[in-house]
Amino acid sequence: MATRIKRTFMLLRETGQSFFTKDPMTYGASIAFYTLVSLPAITLLLSLVLGTAYQADNAQAKLLEQLNRFMGPSSVETVDMILENAGDLGKTWWAKTIGISTLIFSATTVFISLQNALNNIWNLKPKPESSIIKYIVNRVLSFAMVVSLGFLMLVTLVVDSLVLIIENFFSNLLSDVGMVFVQTINFTISLLITTFLFALIFKFLPDAEIKWKQVRIGGLFTAMLFILGKYLLGIYLSFSDVGSAYGAAGSLVLFLTWVYYSSIILLFGANFTYVYSKRGEDLIQPSKHATFIETKEVDSII
C-alpha cells in the first residue's frame, strides 16, 4: 500500500514537472482564443448533427442542454447568443457550399491548435515533407472530432432519457435513498462520457501512436480533474464576479475564462498520460507523418 502511494506521488510529481516545462499557459490561451473564433461554426455544426434526430429549434435547445452539463450556465449564455445571431447557410447551392466549407474550416481550427499543444507535450512534430498531406489529414480528422462530439451528445441525450425514467421509478418507491442512487448513476454516466471524450482526443488528435490502455487511464484522470475543476471554477466565478467589470461583454469573458482553465486541465491530463506511458512498456510513438523532437540545453553555440 505504501509503495503504491509512493509511486502515485512520484507519478504526479513528474507530471507537474513536465507540465510547467511545456508552456501550458500560452497554449491554454491559444486554445481559448481559437475556441472563441471557432465557436459559431462548431455550434452550428453540432446543431446540424443534432438536427438529424430533432427539429431545428429542439436541436438547439438540446445542444444548450448538453453544453450546460459541461460548461455551466454562465458560459452557455455566450453559446446561446451566438446561435441566435448566426445566419443561415444561404439559399442557393453555391452559397450553401461556400457556407458549409467555411463552417468546416472554422470549426476545425481549434482542434488544430489543440493538436499542436498535445504534440508539444508529447515531444512530437510533423515531418516537413508531409506538410500538405498532413494539413489535409488534420482538417479531416478535426472535422471528424466535431461530428463525433455531436453524435456523442445524441447518445448522451438517449442515456439522459433512460436516467429520467429510472429516476421517476425510484422516486415513487424510495425517497432519499432512491435519489442518491439515481444521482450516483448520473455522475457515473457523466464521468464515463467525459472519460471517453478525452480518450478520443488523446488517441486520435496528436501525431502519435498510443495504446488504448494508456488513453483510458489518461482520459479517466483528466475527466476526474475536469469535473472537479468545473465545480471549483463554478464556485470561484460565483464569488469573484469576474464578468461584471466588462459590462455587456461579461458573459464572453466568463466563457473565455472557462475555456482557458478547462484547456489547462486538459493539457495537465495530457502530461499525465505522457508520463504514465513512459513508466510502462508501451511508449508513445510518432505516427508515420511525424517524428520525435529533442531539446538540449547548451552553454554556447560556439
Specify if 259 maps to a domain: yes
Q: How many domains does the chain have?
A: 1
Specify if 300 maps to a domain: no
Q: Residue 117: its pLDDT value, please?
A: 92
- To the nearest whole number, what is the mean pLDDT of the chain? 78
Specify if 294 maps to a domain: no
Q: Residue 27: its pLDDT value, please?
A: 92
Instruction: Express as a percent the part of the chain with pLDDT over 90.
Output: 16
Point out the least confidently predicted range of 19-33, 71-85, 195-209: 71-85
Residue 101 pLDDT grade (very low, low, confident, very high; cuts 50, 70, 90): confident
Q: Residue 156: its pLDDT value, please?
A: 67
Q: Note the pTM of the prediction, 2 decimals.
A: 0.83
pLDDT tens-digit series, residues 174-209: 666 666 777 787 788 888 888 998 999 899 889 889
Q: Residue 122: its pLDDT value, please?
A: 92
Specify if 19 maps to a domain: no
> Which of 148-157, 190-199, 242-251 has maximum average pLDDT?
190-199
Could you tell me which residue, 30 or 249, shows the higher pLDDT?
30
Could you tell me which residue, 67 or 177, shows the higher pLDDT?
67
pLDDT tens-digit series, residues 284-296: 888 888 888 877 7
Q: Residue 215: its pLDDT value, please?
A: 93
pLDDT higher than threshold 60 for residue 28: yes
Instruction: Express as a percent the part of the chain with pLDDT over 70.
Output: 70
Mean pLDDT of 13-37: 89
Residue for grid cell 438547439: 60
Specify if 8 maps to a domain: no
Specify if 66 maps to a domain: yes
Rounded to a whole number of angstroms, the distance between the first and last alpha carbons of the chain is 51
HEC letters along the chain = CHHHHHHHHHHHHHHHHHHHCCCHHHHHHHHHHHHHHHHHHHHHHHHHHHCCCCCHHHHHHHHHHHHHHHHCHHHHHHHHHHHHHCCCCCCCHHHHHHHHHHHHHHHHHHHHHHHHHHHHHCCEEECHHHHHHHHHHHHHHHHHHHHHHHHHHHHHHHHHHHHHHHHHHHHHHCCHHHHHHHHHHHHHHHHHHHHHHHHHHHHHCCCEECCHHHHHHHHHHHHHHHHHHHHHHHHHHHHHCHHHHHHHHHHHHHHHHHHHHHHHHHHHHHHHHHHHHHCCCCCCEECCCEEECCCCCCCCCC
pLDDT higher than threshold 60 for residue 89: no
Range of the domain at 174: 24-286
